[in-house]
């Protein structure tokens, strides 16, 4: 490599053109870039089967209850991290048939600030109600941080959702993620 560089430098110093700067070389490199793209393949998203496996294997306690509810709500609403942590109890409507809806008030793609409504299935409503009941959440932010094992803190920060995704991958469904080549959401 060093010899090639010094060879090109000596040709340039002597007033000769760099052979790599020609049009033919430029076009060949462009073609090579099209044929051998460095773009990474899109990771496969979590599906409902993987989420059901997580729900089954999440364990016990407040952290598991919160993670179940968070994952179900995130999956069904397609909410971004900031939208998830901005959800408040007043944004959720539970219906008599066991389903419900969530009002996503603030969204990155919502230029008019109109918000959007997302359907919540019976499964999601079930886990959300369990989290709200066990966490004794009756108003304000739905998804809150935990202090120790059983104390509820203030609203989660969007960065905490990324950590949750990595925690999910590392502990609960690592084998699913390896099998399906799913990457940790950041």
Q: Domain spans of the chain?
A: 2-35, 48-180
pLDDT at 9 over 80: no
Question: What is the end-to-end Cα distance of the chain in Å, rounded?
Answer: 38
pLDDT at position 166, please?
56
DSSP element (H, E) containing 117: strand 116-120
Q: How far is CA 11 from the centre of its chain?
A: 52
pLDDT at position 12, please?
58
pLDDT at position 179, please?
44
pLDDT at position 56, please?
85
Both tokens of residue 37? 């793209």
Distances (CA, A) of 169 to 65, 119, 143, 145, 166: 17, 26, 19, 19, 5
Q: What is the mean pLDDT of residues 169-174?
A: 46
Q: Tens digits of per-residue pLDDT, 73-121?
A: 988 998 888 889 899 999 999 999 999 999 998 766 666 777 889 999 9
Both tokens of residue 43? 């990771």
pLDDT band for 143, please (50, 70, 90 cuts): very high
Q: Which residues pair with 147 in a beta bridge?
A: 151
Q: Tens digits of per-residue pLDDT, 14-73?
A: 666 666 677 777 787 777 777 766 666 666 677 888 888 888 888 889 988 998 999 899
Q: Which CATH superfamily is domain 48-180 in?
A: Intergrase catalytic core (1.10.443.10)
pLDDT band for 127, please (50, 70, 90 cuts): very high
Q: Tens digits of per-residue pLDDT, 43-57?
A: 667 788 888 888 888
- For the ranges 43-52, 117-126, 158-167, the maximum mean pLDDT occurs at 117-126
pLDDT at 3 over 80: no
Mean pLDDT (the chain, rounded) = 78
Q: Which string of DSSP letters, residue by residue, matches 55-96?
A: HHHS-SSHHHHHHHHHHHHHHHH---HHHHHH-BGGGEEE-T
């Amino acid at each position: 490599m060093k010899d090639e560089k010094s060879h090109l430098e000596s040709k340039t110093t002597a007033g000769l053109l760099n052979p790599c700067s020609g049009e033919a070389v430029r076009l060949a490199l462009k073609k090579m870039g099209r044929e051998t793209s460095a773009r990474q393949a899109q990771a496969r998203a979590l599906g409902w089967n993987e989420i059901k496996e997580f729900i089954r294997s999440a364990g016990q306690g407040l952290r598991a209850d919160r993670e179940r509810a968070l994952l179900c709500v995130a999956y069904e609403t397609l909410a971004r991290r900031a939208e998830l942590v901005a959800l408040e109890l007043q944004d959720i409507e539970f219906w008599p048939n066991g389903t419900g809806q969530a009002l996503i008030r603030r969204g990155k793609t919502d230029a008019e600030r109109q918000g959007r409504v997302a359907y919540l299935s019976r499964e999601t409503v079930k886990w959300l109600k369990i989290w709200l009941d066990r966490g004794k959440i009756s108003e304000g932010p739905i998804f809150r941080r935990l202090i120790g094992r059983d104390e509820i803190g203030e609203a989660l920060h969007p960065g905490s959702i990324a950590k949750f995704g990595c925690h999910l991958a590392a502990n609960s469904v690592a084998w699913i993620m390896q099998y399906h080549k799913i990457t940790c959401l950041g």
